[in-house]
Amino acid sequence: MNRNPKARERRNEAVTADLTAVVVAVTGGEPRVLTLDGTAGELERLPSGPFELRHRTLEQGLRSWVESQTRQTLGYVEQLYTFGDRDRHVPTAATGAARVLSIGYVALVREPRQSAAEGVAWRDWYRYFPWEDWRHGRPPVLDAIEGWLRAWVEGASGATERRQRAERVAVNFAIDGGTWNEDRVLERYELAYGAGLVAEAYADGAVVGQGPPRGVGGEPMAGDHRRILATAIARLRGKIKYRPVVFELLPPTFTLLQLQQTVEALAGLGLHKPNFRRLVEQQGLVEDTGAMTLGTGGRPARLVRFRREALLERPAPGLRVRATRAAGPRGS
């Protein structure tokens, strides 16, 4: 008989599956994510709940939790990743302190309706990742972040670790000659976590001490939910280049300006208007409806719609946008 109490504790430790949804919409050219507002000092979190025996499938369980918590019906849903790190989850009445496998999903919805559910809010996702929004050039918050990361590099225990840290900073945050890669959202968040830039690192006990001034590291979320959100943003930024998922966020008919603003919102990049429209036309992703609408400034703009035939015409019907950043307002 094994009399080791720690061994018995490991055998009896409960493992539960938590279903977490990153529900995304683009409203007025801004990327939004559906959150449950923190109350009584709690942090904001994503809609989530445990996988239960009453759920026929994981996805059905996710849809059920999102609808019951937010009154939002989901359309397009895709599984992201399974997160199983110890001590990086949101304890709930259902899970308690059990070991949790968090199964993340991303869901795309069109212009969100106002939810009547109490404590539910649509938040701009750059609220949590202010360094990711390059639509109007380099974000000012990167000045403070760069200083913090340089100090973190210099605080390494030796030359090898210092070199490794410097390489990670250059690759992910485009410091000292590095090139900004909009797809590396998760890698940047993990680096920020390890460097003590985000509040979650201190809450988890991964980093001790005092973090940067409020606003530099973005708004924190409960448990591991900001990490799950970073994974969803990275997935969408990569996927819009080879699948037409962006059209899941648009109404049935839309203007080319609406399409461009939606792509810019997801990618965090400002795009050159003539080049973008040329790209859309070359790829044959939209077709004219023959109708017009009043765009910004009262100028009429043509309405187009997604060409579903594009799905059959080539294997990767996405928008391979270039990282051409353009600052300032864009016309219709």
Which pLDDT belongs to residue 129? Answer: 98
Average pLDDT score over the chain: 86
Mean pLDDT, to the nearest integer, of 70-88?
83
| Cα gap 214→198, rounded to integer Å | 10
Q: How many helices (H) and strands (E) does the chain have?
A: 10, 8
Q: Per-residue confidence at 330, pLDDT binned at 50, 70, 90? A: very low
For residue range 88-98, what is the model confidence (pLDDT) as tens digits? 555 554 445 56
pLDDT of residue 88: 53
Which of the two residues, 94 and 99, has the higher pLDDT score? 99
Label residue 81 by pLDDT band (50, 70, 90): confident
Residue of 21, 15, 17 whose CA lies nearest to 225: 21
What integer pLDDT is reported at residue 317 of this predicted model?
Answer: 78
The rounded distance, in Å, linking the Cα atoms of 51 and 65 is 9
pLDDT higher than 80, residue 116: no
CA distance 273 to 108: 25
Q: What is the β-pairing status of strands 286-294 and 15-27? A: unpaired
H-assigned helices in the chain: 5-12, 58-70, 141-154, 159-173, 185-194, 199-203, 225-239, 256-267, 273-283, 310-313
**Residue-wise DSSP of 64-127:** HHHHHHH-PPP-EEEEEEEE--TT-S---TTTTTSEEEEEEEEEE-SSPPPP-STTEEEEEGGG
List of domains in the chain: 14-126 (3.90.79.10), 130-218 (no CATH), 244-313 (1.10.10.10)
pLDDT for 149 beyond 60: yes
Cα separations in angstroms, 272 against 217, 260, 264, 324: 29, 9, 10, 6
41 or 264: whose pLDDT is higher? 264
Q: Find residue 293's DSSP bridge partners.
A: 301
Query: How high is the pLDDT of residue 267?
Result: 96
